[in-house]
Amino acid sequence: MADTACGTILERHVNPKLIAVGVIAAIGLYLLFSAFVVINAGRVGVVKTLGAVQPEPLDEGFHLKKPFIDQVEEIDIRLRKAESQASAASKDLQVVSTKVALQYSLIGPIVPKTYQQIGRREIVESTLIAPAILESVKAVTAQYTAEQLITKRAEVKVQIQSAIEAFIDATLEEKEVVGALSLANVAITDFDFSAEFNRAIEEKVRAEQEALKAKNEKLRRVTQAEAAAAERTLAADAEAYQIEVASKARADAIRREAEALKDNPSLIQLRIAEQWDGRLPQVSGGDAIPLLNMDGLRPQG
Q: What is the pLDDT along the chain (301 residues), one digit of tens a residue?
A: 545 545 554 455 556 766 766 767 666 655 656 788 999 999 999 999 999 999 999 999 999 888 889 999 999 999 999 999 888 888 988 888 889 999 999 999 999 999 999 999 999 999 999 999 999 999 999 999 988 888 898 899 999 999 999 999 999 999 999 999 999 888 888 878 877 776 766 677 677 777 787 788 788 888 888 888 888 888 877 777 788 777 777 777 777 767 766 666 666 666 666 666 666 565 555 555 555 555 554 555 4
Q: Are 160 and 140 in contact (CB under 8 A)?
A: yes
Give the pLDDT confidence score for residue 116 in this predicted structure. 94
Do 130 and 81 meet the contact criterion of CB atoms below 8 Å apart?
A: no
What number of other Cβ atoms are within 10 A of residue 237's Cβ? 10
Q: Is residue 278 part of a domain?
A: no
Instruction: Tell me whether residue 129 is in a domain.
Output: yes
pLDDT at position 164: 94
Last-in-domain residue among 143, 173, 193: 193
Identity of the residue numbered 44: V
Burial class for 109, CB neighbours closer than 10 Å (0-12, 13-18, 19+): middle
The reported pLDDT for the residue numbered 290 is 54
Q: Identify any residues that bridge with 43 across adjacent strands, giving them in sequence order.
A: 76
Q: Measured between alpha carbons, how far is 108 from 49 in angstroms, rounded to an integer?
A: 19
113: closest CA among 63, 181, 184, 42?
A: 181
Domain region containing 100: 80-193
Indicate if 36 and 113 belong to the same structural domain: no
Q: Quick one: pLDDT at residue 227?
A: 82
CATH number, domain at 90? 3.30.479.30
> Cα(34)–Cα(69) distance, rounded to whole angstroms?
10
Give the predicted TM-score (pTM) of the model: 0.58
> Over the Cα atoms of the chain, what is R_g?
56
CB atoms within 10 A of CB 204: 11
Residue 297's CB is within 10 A of a number of other CB atoms, namely 13
Of 150, 169, 193, which residue constitutes the final position of a domain?
193
Contacts of 83 (CB under 8 A, 6+ apart): 99, 100, 101, 102, 189
Do 14 and 108 belong to one domain? no
Amino acid 301: pLDDT: 46
Residue 275 within any structural domain of the chain: no
* 8 A C-beta contact, residue 91 and residue 142: yes
Tell me, yes or no, whether 258 lies in a domain.
Answer: no
The pLDDT of residue 264: 65
Residue 233 domain flag: no
Domain boundary among 193, 218, 249: 193
State residue 229's pLDDT score: 80
> Given this model, what pLDDT does residue 240 score?
78
**124 occurs within a structural domain:** yes
What domain count does the chain have? 2
* 299 falls within a domain: no
Whether 22 maps to a domain, the answer reads yes
